[in-house]
Amino acid sequence: MTDVAVVGFAQAPQVRRTHGTTNGVEMLVPVFADLFEQTGLSKKDIGFWCSGSSDYLAGRAFSFIAAIDAIGAFPPINESHVEMDAAWALYEAWLKIRTGEVETALVYGFGKSSAGQLRRVLSLQLDPYVTAPLWPDSVSIAGIQARLGLDAGLWNEKDLAEVASRSRRDAENNPFAQVRGTEGAPELLAAPYVAEPLRAHDIAPVTDGAAAIVLASARRAADLVERPAIITGIDHRVDSSAIGARDLTRSPSTETAGARAGAGEDPVQIAEIHAPFSHQELIVREALGLGGDVRVTPSGGALTGNPMFSAGLIRIGEAARQILAGNAIRTLAHATSGPALQQNLVAVLEKG
């Protein structure tokens, strides 16, 4: 089977509110244009399109069909969709190229979180029989997860503040980030709780945004970019949907996905982690066995901008961008979906 590479990555500015429709067209059109300019490709050169979004978030059935307006009615396309973060759409597209069905694919994700009450919308991801009828919101569940780690002595509030502080400082160099700042941990710890022990800086902001990635077979990639980011391993796993059946201070699915993707086989210079809450970065770092020599999420990550259904794809794009730009030889990307790190995807990328 052929190797698959990331050859282009683009994203929309991560903002608190956009004034377009919930189908993402207004955000996606300039993102696609950016990708085509980067790669020299056009719509007719794309063998497969795959998107990630949510009808629940958009408030309409088959909202992803309306998003295809951003592609255009002609020429006809080969298209698919996943009802989750577009990192999983990338997995589907990776398989299409890997098996030789197509040579190129464009993967995109979008979400207009400002259109509704995100904390309540995400409650619909919960077990529909036991947990969802209680309407626990996503931030409260994360607060329980953070409290369990505190009580177990796995981290303290200063550890969480240091994650948030580093993320905000890194975001100073990210023109797409929604939140930036130079506050140190002591300053952040002076803020009030939102869902104890979580403060506002521990929680990803509500964000509108979109992103897209172009994949190509290794043969095709060599013609498109100087340093293609080859996906040498990718895997995703899921933990139980029953919150009470899991040890929320660990992420077995991340650990398994990382091992299956080959994360520990050779050192990585950079790891882009999708952690919508500060303590979740600590859980993922532990699950992946990342040491202190690994640069973690230099883009700032989800704590500085968390566009639903594209934030995970952005982690893959940012990890690939480091290779495309010549800043790294081997990187890792992580994406998560569901409550309290329920489902996780890990990809390892290397310079081609």
DSSP string, 18-61: --S-TT-HHHHHHHHHHHHHHH---GGG-SEEEEE--HHHHTST
Note whether residue 347 is domain-resident. no
pLDDT in tens, 190-202: 999 999 999 999 9
Per the model's pLDDT, the better-predicted residue between 302 and 19 turns out to be 302
Token match 């100073």: residue? Answer: 172
H-only helix segments in the chain: 25-39, 55-58, 63-67, 86-98, 118-121, 138-151, 157-171, 185-189, 218-224, 252-261, 278-288, 311-324
- Rounded to whole angstroms, the Cα distance separating 216 from 229 reads 10
pLDDT for the residue numbered 95: 98
pLDDT in tens, 130-140: 999 999 999 99
47 Cβ neighbours under 8 A, 6+ residues apart: 78, 96, 97, 101, 102, 103, 104, 105
The average pLDDT across 316-333 equals 98
- 3-state DSSP assignment of residue 208: strand
CA distances, 274 to each of 79, 149, 182, 225, 309 (Å): 26, 19, 21, 26, 11
Q: What is the dihedral of CA 157, 257, 338, 71, to 10 degrees?
A: 120
249 Cβ neighbours under 8 A, 6+ residues apart: 145, 148, 149, 152, 154, 283
The average pLDDT across 25-47 equals 96
Note whether residue 214 is domain-resident. yes
Note whether residue 301 is domain-resident. no
Note whether residue 320 is domain-resident. no
Phi/psi-derived region of residue 309, left when phi > 0, alpha when psi is between -120 and 50, beta in every other case: left
Q: Record the pTM.
A: 0.97
Q: Is the pLDDT of residue 20 over 90?
A: no
The average pLDDT across 322-337 equals 97
Rounded to 5 degrees, what angle do the CA atoms 307, 133, 151 make? 70
Instruction: Give the number of domains in the chain.
Output: 1
Note whether residue 221 is domain-resident. yes
Signed CA dihedral, 290, 292, 296, 302: sign only: positive
CB atoms closer than 10 angstroms to residue 168: 22
Does an H or E element contain 330, and which?
strand 330-337
Per the model's pLDDT, the better-predicted residue between 22 and 15 turns out to be 15
Note whether residue 142 is domain-resident. no
Note whether residue 38 is domain-resident. yes
With a pLDDT cut of 90, the percent of the chain lying above it is: 90
Q: Which domain holds residue 82?
A: 4-118+206-229
Note whether residue 279 is domain-resident. no
Q: What is the CATH number of the domain that holds 11?
A: 3.40.47.10
- Rounded to whole angstroms, the Cα distance separating 302 from 277 reads 8
